[in-house]
A and B are shown apart, each in its own frame.
Chain A
Amino acid sequence: MKMKMVVAVMALFAVRHAWAEEQAVEVVHWWTSGGEAAALNVLKEDMQKRGYAWKDSPIAGGGGEQARTVLRARVAAGNPPDAMQMLGFTIRDYADEGLLGDLSSVANKEGWDKVVPAPLAKFSKNAKGQWVAAPVNIHRTNWIWANKKIFDELKISPPKTFDELIAISAKIKAAGYIPLAHGGQPWQEATIFDSAVMSAGGPAFYKKAMIELDPAALGSKNMEKAFDQMAKLRTLVDDNFSGRDWNLATAMVINGKAAMQMMGDWAKGEFIKAGKKPNVDFLCFQYPGTEGAFTFNTDQFAMFKVGEKQAKGQLTLASAVMNPSFQEAFNLAKGSIPARTDVPDTKFEACGKKSMADLKVAIKNDTMLGSFAHGHAMPDAVKGAGYDVVTKFFNHPGASSAEAAKEFAKAIEAAK
């Protein structure tokens, strides 16, 4: 009797699930907030025009952490989505597990290799060199965003060296502003750390230590210097920084409560949305000592192997993502720059133009380097171990930089 009931109820639900759209592409993403969602809508409409329904599966939270958990479960269930928003090494992990589909047919036809910078394309391909993901954008993480009114009022200009940064911060503080708006979450602290390492040792050192994970580089004095910078920056933040979301920190700069924020260019989206203009209301410049370099992260849509029936839809989506006009529209809304280097910069504002120009130089000089904080320098497991040391140090005023540098090297080694 009981079993009968169970069967009956289950059957009822099975029937409800029997129907499924034939020509739908399911996309898992965490772009749920205003501007991002609007940008993604462009893609959705594009897909609909090409004859595919868009099955939206948003999982917000934790910069994609929540979505990644769900993805693990869905892969285990043998039921991965058609496409998923992914970052850096996560794509490589899934590609290594052989779970991602091959986009080479579209990529070769459209010549992606010619327009996507190599350091980025590294994350879009599997070990065999086949394209498995379509990159949407390039974010730069070594930015400082500043309130121009405060800078004008105090007659200060963007610092050229770290010591200058500290010197102007003292002035800012004396004038009653918070020098640095910061949100105390591990990834935000790691974002600053990206720049601190780069600033302390230069791009070549950054590459050796953070990307090649060379023990000698990790054990060198430069890492200690990077932690020294972190310790000094810690003194520039207000008391309420713990757990603050990054956009609230950006709002502090927008509202003139704080002078600067060290954050990737998604912060620019907030300024623009608030009606602020670059070089009029706010300034954008590089963390001192990292001017020529370009630490990046990129959002991509990875396509899972889900069978022939869906492959066409996936290729269509990949092609739509790589469409220059979509890349332009999306990135104008998101604050980043297109993953394709052949998109004209005419519609972008000053900071976007600067980013696009700097990128070209950085590619030439081999200083376009993956961001540690955003999963483009080392695998997730190693990155997590690094996060722990950085965030612990930042939240523990008075900790020794030498100790922290040692711990950092040790943690990386253990997690490798």
Chain B
Amino acid sequence: MAKTWETPQMVQETGFRWSRVVVYGLLVFFGAVYLLPLLVMLLTSFKPLPEIYAGNMVALPRHWTVEPWVNAWTKACVGLNCNGIKGYFWNSIQMTVPAVVISTGMGLLNGYVLTKWRFRGANVLFGLILFGCFIPFQIVLIPMATFLGRMGIASSTTGLVFVHVVYGLCFTTLYARNYYMAFPDELVKAAMIDGARFFSIFRRVLLPNSGPIIIVAVIWQFTNIWNDFLFGASFSTGTSAPMTVALNNVVMTSTGEREYNVHMAAAMIAALPTLMVYVFGGRYFVRGLMAGSVKG
């Protein structure tokens, strides 16, 4: 149904060679600009401290050192505990994985209902759900805290998973709904005539074809939840805090000489999973964006 990636796009065989040079030149130029902050961070994380304070931020390290990375992982102080950020990494995974799985799963089912089992008022409900994507998180902080407290899941990973599911649902529902819109109704109908029911149709007909949109939803949810600071800081305590909270504690120290190299290394470690997801998932990401956009 989706157009394959390799389909020629532009009829451009007539282009001159120099135009190719310009295109590549521009792309590389933009790439360099986009990469600059990452480059600064990476270079800094491999420099010894005196070199950072003395030198130029884009200069290559004169003495390469991996010590900042080791320190960040095992020795950096997060408050009074100087065991690095490794423990918090695991906290983040414990929080992110279930939240992504649940919100994506529910979103897919919602999308399935909203497109293939429409009932009166379904569109209005969709509109209502969609508006939820736009709520500023700061305003929900206090009422949400009250709710979590009443439920007895404040300051727990369960509470954090719940919050991230709640505010991720609108996005996953939106993706799935728009994707399944383009999915041929005939296939659903055929399965129904074969006697398949609600869940078996979903499992056998839609789910096997949902690869691209699952990837889009997972990428989106994963990066948002992994990078979240506000909820993580508010709804966790001490050593159960997610990575971003620990990173903040490492980086935002108020006194003393700043160990920029350790800070940058810690920041890179914290960013690694999302970076990986984008680098390796990027190809599927655009494909997922595309998939829904082509007539079914």
Assess A/B contact in the complex (Cβ within 8 A).
Answer: yes
- Chain A contacts to B: CB under 8 angstroms: 1-2, 5-6, 9-10, 13-14, 16-17, 26, 29-37, 40-41, 44, 54-63, 66, 69-70, 72-79, 81, 245-247, 251, 266, 269-270, 273
A77 touches B154 (CB 8 A): yes
The verdict on A10 contacting B237 (CB below 8 Å), with A30-B254, A34-B253, A35-B256 known, is no
A393 vs chain B, min Cβ distance (A)? 25
Q: Determine the distance from Cα of A188 to Cα of B21 in the docked complex, in whole angstroms.
A: 52
For residue B269, CB closer than 8 A to chain A, the reply is: no
A251 touches B257 (CB 8 A): yes
Could you write out 24 A-B pairs with CB less than 8 Å apart? A10-B158, A13-B98, A16-B157, A17-B156, A32-B249, A32-B250, A32-B252, A32-B254, A33-B253, A35-B255, A41-B80, A73-B142, A74-B155, A76-B143, A76-B146, A76-B149, A77-B148, A78-B154, A81-B237, A247-B257, A247-B258, A270-B255, A270-B256, A273-B256
Q: Which of A9, A14, A73 meets B145, CB within 8 Å?
A: A73
A37 touches B80 (CB 8 A): yes
B255 touches A36 (CB 8 A): yes
A67 vs chain B, min Cβ distance (A)? 9
Specify which chain B residues have a CB less than 8 angstroms from the CB of A77 in the assembled complex. 145-146, 148-149, 154-155, 235
Q: Determine the distance from Cα of A81 to Cα of B156 in the docked complex, in whole angstroms.
A: 14
Specify which chain A residues have a CB less than 8 angstroms from the CB of B250 in the assembled complex. 32
The verdict on A54 contacting B233 (CB below 8 Å), with A34-B256, A61-B248, A66-B248 known, is no
Specify which chain A residues have a CB less than 8 angstroms from the CB of B238 in the assembled complex. 26, 55-57
For residue B79, CB closer than 8 A to chain A, the reply is: yes
Beta-carbon nearest neighbor of B102 in chain A: A6
A9 vs chain B, min Cβ distance (A)? 5
Q: Which of B143, B148, B239, B251 meets A56, CB within 8 Å?
A: B239
Q: Determine the distance from Cα of A305 to Cα of B144 in the docked complex, in whole angstroms.
A: 21
Specify which chain B residues have a CB less than 8 angstroms from the CB of A266 in the assembled complex. 255
Q: Determine the distance from Cα of A338 to Cα of B169 in the docked complex, in whole angstroms.
A: 52
For residue B219, CB closer than 8 A to chain A, the reply is: no
Beta-carbon nearest neighbor of A54 in chain B: B80
B80 touches A70 (CB 8 A): no
B52 vs chain A, min Cβ distance (A)? 13
Beta-carbon nearest neighbor of B165 in chain A: A6
Closest 4 CB pairs of A and B: A58-B79, A77-B149, A33-B253, A77-B154
Q: Which of A5, A37, A44, A246 meets B77, CB within 8 Å?
A: A37
Specify which chain A residues have a CB less than 8 angstroms from the CB of B191 in the assembled complex. none
B98 touches A74 (CB 8 A): no
Specify which chain A residues have a CB less than 8 angstroms from the CB of B78 in the assembled complex. 32, 58
B109 touches A29 (CB 8 A): no
A73 touches B234 (CB 8 A): yes
Q: Determine the distance from Cα of A54 to Cα of B248 in the docked complex, in whole angstroms.
A: 21
Q: Determine the distance from Cα of A17 to Cα of B258 in the docked complex, in whole angstroms.
A: 35
B242 vs chain A, min Cβ distance (A)? 13
A59 touches B157 (CB 8 A): no
A69 touches B154 (CB 8 A): no
Q: Which of B102, B156, B251, B257 meets A9, CB within 8 Å?
A: B102
A10 touches B161 (CB 8 A): yes
Q: Determine the distance from Cα of A77 to Cα of B234 in the docked complex, in whole angstroms.
A: 10
B255 touches A76 (CB 8 A): no
For residue B105, CB closer than 8 A to chain A, the reply is: yes
Q: Which of A9, A29, A40, A55 meets B237, CB within 8 Å?
A: A55
B57 vs chain A, min Cβ distance (A)? 15
A60 touches B248 (CB 8 A): yes
Interface centre among A1, A60, A69 (most CB of B within 10 A): A60
Q: Determine the distance from Cα of A227 to Cα of B105 in the docked complex, in whole angstroms.
A: 60
The verdict on A79 contacting B254 (CB below 8 Å), with A5-B105, A6-B102, A73-B142 known, is no
Specify which chain A residues have a CB less than 8 angstroms from the CB of B123 in the assembled complex. none
Specify which chain B residues have a CB less than 8 angstroms from the CB of A70 in the assembled complex. 233-234
Q: Determine the distance from Cα of A32 to Cα of B148 in the docked complex, in whole angstroms.
A: 28
For residue B33, CB closer than 8 A to chain A, the reply is: no
Q: Determine the distance from Cα of A59 to Cα of B247 in the docked complex, in whole angstroms.
A: 10
For residue B41, CB closer than 8 A to chain A, the reply is: no
Q: Determine the distance from Cα of A388 to Cα of B154 in the docked complex, in whole angstroms.
A: 35
Interface centre among B78, B80, B109, B153 (most CB of A within 10 A): B80
8 Å CB contacts to A: which residues of B64-96? Answer: 77-81, 94
Specify which chain A residues have a CB less than 8 angstroms from the CB of B241 in the assembled complex. 57
Q: Determine the distance from Cα of A260 to Cα of B153 in the docked complex, in whole angstroms.
A: 51
Q: Determine the distance from Cα of A69 to Cα of B245 in the docked complex, in whole angstroms.
A: 13
Specify which chain A residues have a CB less than 8 angstroms from the CB of B254 in the assembled complex. 30, 32-33, 36, 60, 63, 245-247
Specify which chain B residues have a CB less than 8 angstroms from the CB of A73 in the assembled complex. 141-142, 144-145, 234-235
Beta-carbon nearest neighbor of A30 in chain B: B254
The verdict on A57 contacting B80 (CB below 8 Å), with A5-B102, A74-B154, A77-B149 known, is no
For residue B18, CB closer than 8 A to chain A, the reply is: no
Specify which chain B residues have a CB less than 8 angstroms from the CB of A74 in the assembled complex. 145, 154-155, 234, 237
Q: 14 additional contacts, CB 8 Å, given A66-B252, A76-B149?
A: A5-B102, A10-B161, A13-B98, A32-B250, A37-B79, A54-B80, A60-B79, A60-B253, A77-B148, A77-B155, A78-B150, A246-B254, A247-B256, A247-B257
Beta-carbon nearest neighbor of A1 in chain B: B199
For residue B106, CB closer than 8 A to chain A, the reply is: yes
B154 touches A59 (CB 8 A): no
B253 touches A79 (CB 8 A): no
Beta-carbon nearest neighbor of B142 in chain A: A76
B197 vs chain A, min Cβ distance (A)? 12
Q: Determine the distance from Cα of A10 to Cα of B239 in the docked complex, in whole angstroms.
A: 20
B233 touches A2 (CB 8 A): no
Specify which chain B residues have a CB less than 8 angstroms from the CB of A56 in the assembled complex. 79-81, 238-239
Q: Determine the distance from Cα of A34 to Cα of B79 in the docked complex, in whole angstroms.
A: 9
Specify which chain B residues have a CB less than 8 angstroms from the CB of A2 in the assembled complex. 105-106, 109
Q: Determine the distance from Cα of A36 to Cα of B253 in the docked complex, in whole angstroms.
A: 10
Q: Which of B146, B150, B233, B255 meets A34, CB within 8 Å?
A: B255
B260 vs chain A, min Cβ distance (A)? 11
Q: Which of A41, A59, A61, A247 meets B255, CB within 8 Å?
A: A247
Beta-carbon nearest neighbor of B147 in chain A: A77
8 Å CB contacts to A: which residues of B127-148? Answer: 141-146, 148
Beta-carbon nearest neighbor of B150 in chain A: A78
Beta-carbon nearest neighbor of A273 in chain B: B256
Q: Determine the distance from Cα of A92 to Cα of B102 in the docked complex, in whole angstroms.
A: 43
Specify which chain A residues have a CB less than 8 angstroms from the CB of B239 in the assembled complex. 56
Q: Determine the distance from Cα of A79 to Cα of B150 in the docked complex, in whole angstroms.
A: 10
A59 touches B249 (CB 8 A): yes
A78 touches B149 (CB 8 A): yes
